[in-house]
Amino acid sequence: MSGRPVAVVTGGAGFIGSHMVDLLLDRGYRVQVVDDLSGGHEANLAHHAGNEGLSLHRVDIRSLKPGNPIFNGCRYVFHFAGIGDIVPSIERPIDYMDINVQGTVRVLECARAAMAKKVVYAASSSCYGLAATPTREDHPISPQYPYALSKYQGEQALFHWGQVYGLPVNSICIFNAYGTRVRTTGAYGAVFGVFFKQKLSGKPYTVVGDGTQSRDFIYATDVACAFLAAAETDIIGERFNVGAGAPQTINRLVELLGGDVLYVPKRPGEPDCTFADIGKITKLLGWRPEVPFEQGVQRMMQQIHHWKDAPLWDPSSIAQATKTWFEYLGDKQVKGAG
C-alpha cells in the first residue's frame, strides 16, 4: 500500500467526484475522500467496499486546517466539494460564498501544507453567463447568480494561490456534466433527475421553453479523465473547458427517453445554448470525449431505478420552486459579453 501514490478527492462521494474515485483506484492510486455527505452519498462508493485503497472521511471542508493528516503525502488534490443549484444560491448567498469560496481556500491551504504536486479545481461554465458560442477559455466572465459567482471566485482563489504561493494548480471548467449517480436534491434543478422521475412515474416531461435550447452534455467518466490529465501534465496555471463540443437539444433528450411533454415558461438568466470550445484541452493535454450522448443516456436509463426517490415535479411545483428565480432575474436579464 505504501508504494501507491495518494490522491485526495473532496466531494468524492458526489456525482462527478465518485467517478473520479473510480478512475484513480483503477489507475493504482490510494484515494482519500473528503465529503460531509450533505450532497454526496456513501452508496456512490459502495462498489468499492473492502478496497483498502479507499478511505472516506466525513468532514466539512470549512473545518479543514493546514496539516490535516488526510492530506499527508498526497500527490494530487481534486477539488469537487461545494454546493450547486441556482435558486438556493439566490436565496442563501452567504452559504454559497462560505462553502464554495472559503471552503476552497481551506482546501488550498491543506494542499499547500502537504506540498501537493497539483491541485485541480472543478470550475463551472456558468461563470461565462449568457456566452457567445462556441465558448473559449478567454471569454469575458459574467456570472448571472450567486452560485456562478461563488464558483468563479473559488477559481480565482485557486490561481491566486498558484501566483503567490507557487502551488501548482489547474482548473477544469465543466459544462453540462451528466451520467450515472447524477445528484438529485430537493431543489428543482438538473434536467436528468427531473425527467427520469417523471418517466418512472408515467408523467409528462416538463420542458422549459420550446425545448430547442441546447446543452453541451459531457459524460462524467470523460470529465474524470480530463481532471486526471490536468493533474498529470507539467502544465500549470491554466483553465481548460470540458464539454463534448457537440450541444444536444432538450427535445433530442426527450426523443431518446420517449414520452409526452408539457412546456413550462423559459427562465431568465439561462443561455439558449452552451457550447464548449475544447480546442485548448485537446491540443495541450490530448484529451477528447469518448462517450457519445446516445450511449451516455442509455447507460443512465439502465440504472433509472436510482431516481425512484427523486422529487416529482409538475408545472405547479416548478412555478413555486422557481418563484425567486423569476423575481430576482426576470426583470433585468443581463446579456453576456461577446
126 in Cβ contact with 147 (< 8 Å) = yes
Q: What gap in Å lies between CA 332 and CA 268, rounded to an integer?
A: 9
> What distance in Å separates the CA atoms of residue 314 and residue 154, rounded to the nearest whole number?
34
The yes-or-no answer on residue 147 being catalytic is yes
Q: Given the C-alpha cell 454559497, which residue does it identify?
A: 96
Question: Among 159, 148, 70, 57, which residue's Cα sits nearest to residue 108?
Answer: 159
List Cα–Cα distances, 56 to 9, 48, 179, 191, in angstroms: 10, 11, 22, 29
Is the separation of the CB atoms in 175 and 75 below 8 Å?
A: no
Per the structure block, which three cell numbers stand in for 81?
466539494
Q: Which of 121, 128, 147, 219 is catalytic?
A: 147
CA torsion through residues 92, 161, 40, 316, sign: positive
Q: Kindly state the cell numbers that stand for 139.
A: 471569454
CA distance 175 to 167: 25
Residues 219, 275: contact at Cβ < 8 Å?
no
Q: Given 3-state DSSP classes, what are the helix, strand and coil percentages for the chain, each rounded to the nearest 5?
A: 40, 15, 40
Active site (catalytic) residues: 147
